[in-house]
């Protein structure tokens, strides 16, 4: 298993195994089972059993409040859901254990039915209302779960909208991580910075925000492009900074940055554990290959 993303669900967690084109569930006893993908890259099997459907380089996973599994199927440019119960999700009738595309296909862009839009998903998250947040190669998009005004935009259930990057006025490179809290506020890493998208007007991370506004938070120097981000229980943003600072926390109230975990340098091997070097006095002679001329 070569995990690139993880999502917790009860006492189990789901792992996106990009190299092997599958998503696995790991249970509390350490046992694991493939819940989506066949191990072969592709798009076959959409609308049928998830374990008979092909995935291609899945890089993101999330689990909603009902236990449905969301997958950023990066190689096939779409977001899929594996239904935990028979019912309706984003306007589609779904059966337990089957997988369905809810965003991505082919098409010109956003503000249209999500399954007709072209996206390049890198990460995925879902809020308590069932809205699906997608971090793409240059934007953060939302697949609306209901027809409401959200992030300062009027949205229609099942359609996809850009809330940061892309046509939303913020220049981003790959969005490596995206997280959403109980209020609907979104944090993500893109273009070497950590950003917030406000769900409602008010103070947030030390600045006054309006609904749908996007702003960098924390420090001004660069975060690595593959940094991960999450919210803690009090709404602070927690960032895994692989560039050397370890794990940092950004205060929801003030925007102050505090290092909460510092990476330990790799231990040097003890002298007795280091491989011995051959003595020059005992170096084997090179075999003769005959005269040089």
Q: Maximum Cα–Cα distance for the chain, whole Å? A: 87
Residues in Cβ contact with 92 at an 8 Å cutoff, skipping those fewer than 6 apart = 100, 102
pLDDT at 106: 45
Question: Encoding tokens for residue 66?
Answer: 């009902």
pLDDT at 285: 46
Give the whole-angstrom CA distance, residue 135 versus residue 113. 17
Question: Encoding tokens for residue 281?
Answer: 């006095």
pLDDT at 290: 46
Residue range 127-169, pLDDT digits in tens: 989 999 999 888 899 999 999 999 999 999 989 999 998 765 6
pLDDT at 42: 84
CB-neighbour burial class of residue 284 (10 A; exposed 0-12, middle 13-18, buried 19+) = exposed
Give the whole-angstrom CA distance, residue 267 versus residue 44. 47
Spell out, as residue ranges, where the chain has pLDDT lower than 70: 105-113, 115-116, 167-171, 220-222, 224-226, 242-245, 263-293
pLDDT at 282: 44
pLDDT at 104: 86
Give the whole-angstrom CA distance, residue 187 versus residue 191. 13
Going by the DSSP 8-state scheme, the letter that residue 75 receives in this structure is G
Give the whole-angstrom CA distance, residue 284 versus residue 146. 76
Give the whole-angstrom CA distance, residue 9 versus residue 117. 29
pLDDT at 166: 73
Residue range 209-237, pLDDT digits in tens: 999 999 999 876 667 666 789 999 999 99
Residue closest to 73 by CA, chosen among 87, 90, 92, 53 = 53
pLDDT at 80: 93
Q: How many C-beta atoms surround the C-beta of residue 21 within 10 A?
A: 22
Over its C-alpha atoms, the chain yields an Rg (Å, rounded) of 23
Residue closest to 68 by CA, chosen among 1, 132, 160 = 132
């Amino acid at each position: 298993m070569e995990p690139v993303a993880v999502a917790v669900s009860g006492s189990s967690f789901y792992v996106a195994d990009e190299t092997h084109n599958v998503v696995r569930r790991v249970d509390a006893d350490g046992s694991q089972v493939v819940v989506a993908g066949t191990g072969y890259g592709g798009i076959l099997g959409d609308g049928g059993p998830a374990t008979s459907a092909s995935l291609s380089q899945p890089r993101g996973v999330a689990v909603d409040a009902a236990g449905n599994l969301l997958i950023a199927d990066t190689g096939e440019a779409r977001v899929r859901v594996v239904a935990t119960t028979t019912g309706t999700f984003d306007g589609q009738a779904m059966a337990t254990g089957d997988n369905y595309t809810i965003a991505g296909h082919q098409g010109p862009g956003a503000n249209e039915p999500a399954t007709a839009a072209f996206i390049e998903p890198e990460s995925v998250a879902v809020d308590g209302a069932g809205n699906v947040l997608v971090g793409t190669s240059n934007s953060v998009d939302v697949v609306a779960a209901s027809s409401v005004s959200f992030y300062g935009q009027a949205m229609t259930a099942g359609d996809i909208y850009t809330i940061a990057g892309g046509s939303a006025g913020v220049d981003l490179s790959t969005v490596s991580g995206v997280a959403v809290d109980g209020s609907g506020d979104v944090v993500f890493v893109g273009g070497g910075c950590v950003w917030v998208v406000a769900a409602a007007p008010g103070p947030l991370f030390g600045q006054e925000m309006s609904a749908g506004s996007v702003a960098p938070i924390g420090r001004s120097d660069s975060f690595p492009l593959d940094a991960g981000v999450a919210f803690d229980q009090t709404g602070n943003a927690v960032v895994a900074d692989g560039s050397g600072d370890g794990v940092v926390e950004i205060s929801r109230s003030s925007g102050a940055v505090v290092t909460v975990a510092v990476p330990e340098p790799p231990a040097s091997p003890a002298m007795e554990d280091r491989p011995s070097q051959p003595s020059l006095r005992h170096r084997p002679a090179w075999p003769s290959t005959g005269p040089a001329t």
